[in-house]
Amino acid sequence: MDYSRFLSLRERAWEDFRVRLDAARRNSRNLTYNDLEELALQYRLILYDHAFASWRFPGTGAARRLARLALDGTRWLYASAEDREGRFRIFWTETFPTAFRRTARTLSVTVSLFAVAALFGLFLATMQTGLAVALLGPDAIEGLERGHLWTESLVTTVPPTVSSSAIATNNVSVALAAWAGGSLFGVGSLYIVLFNGFLLGALIGVTLHYSMALALLGFVSAHGPLEITLILVTAAAGLQIGRALISAGDRPREQAVREAARESLTVVLGCAPWFLLLALIESFVSPSPQVASSMKVTIGLALEFLFLWVAWNPFLTRREAA
């Protein structure tokens, strides 16, 4: 059998197996016994075709494709629910905390830079009052003069279910930009850190001028601490890539960058679910006048503590010490 005839006879079956396997991965709970039987039969044929292609047509596209299909099928068919639950548990108790710990030194750099940028923004906004209009626009400044924050419009003009989706999308976009900016030798990550630090400091400076700083801090107290932390953590993960690009040490640069990218992606994936939770807090709790400021502060501190506890995982330290 020549290569073209092999493809014409078997390629449709390979694609059918791939489609069935993808569907089974997405919705395994609704699979019937007959579905599993058919999938298992197709899997055995994939193994046969893989063995034949490896022997008769080694190194071809069909051989590589069948190798991937055989591996994917083996992983799914022989992985039990306990295995999948175990991988989920291991990610949050070992994989993510280990990756987070390795970014701790870089995270201290991003925190320091953020603080310096925030102090600079605070100083500049205090000294240059014209900066307020550039940052917020004339309508927001007019509201501050009347004693109203621009955030008050969130309660009346935007439904929380709509705003939470927009907030989550925006926050995740910022985090991804902070992480991906590491591929520009860290410059993009540094820009996100410095810009957000400057912006926060400047906004506090502007509201101080209008005696509204406490109101602003009260608004951000429920979601702000963790939101800033997540952005700094993802930026630190991006800087890990930038550092590998600049200084790979005694390893090949490609290997160093690949390892840094894999570990930093683990950090970003560990941060992503928290952005969704923060979007709900920022939409339903932060702008609500019915929630006392003390409660907002408590929520903000509790979220910050919970994230750091999960990310650092003190139990991992005990296991390492043992």
State the average pLDDT over residues 17-36: 80
For residue 123 the two structure tokens come to 């100083």
Nearest to 229 by CA among 187, 275, 188: 275
Instruction: Domain ranges for the chain, please list them.
Output: 3-79, 92-321
- Whether residue 106 contacts residue 243, with contact meaning beta carbons closer than 8 Å, is answered with yes
Residue 58: left (phi > 0), alpha (psi -120 to 50), or beta?
Answer: beta
Specify burial of residue 132 (Cβ count, 10 A radius: 0-12, 13-18, 19+). buried
Average pLDDT along the chain: 85
Q: How many other C-beta atoms lie within 10 A of the C-beta of residue 312?
A: 14
Whether residue 117 has pLDDT greater than 60: yes
* Between 110 and 75, the higher pLDDT residue: 110
Q: Looking at 8-17, 132-141, 295-304, which range is the least confident one? A: 132-141
Whether residue 197 has pLDDT greater than 90: yes
For residue 15 the two structure tokens come to 């694609």
Tens-place pLDDT, residues 272-312: 999 989 988 988 898 888 899 999 999 999 999 999 999 99
Whether residue 255 has pLDDT greater than 80: yes
Q: Which backbone phi and psi does 186 adopt, to 5 degrees?
A: 90, -10
Residues 6+ apart with CB under 8 A from 237: 99, 103, 106, 179, 182, 263, 264, 265, 267, 268
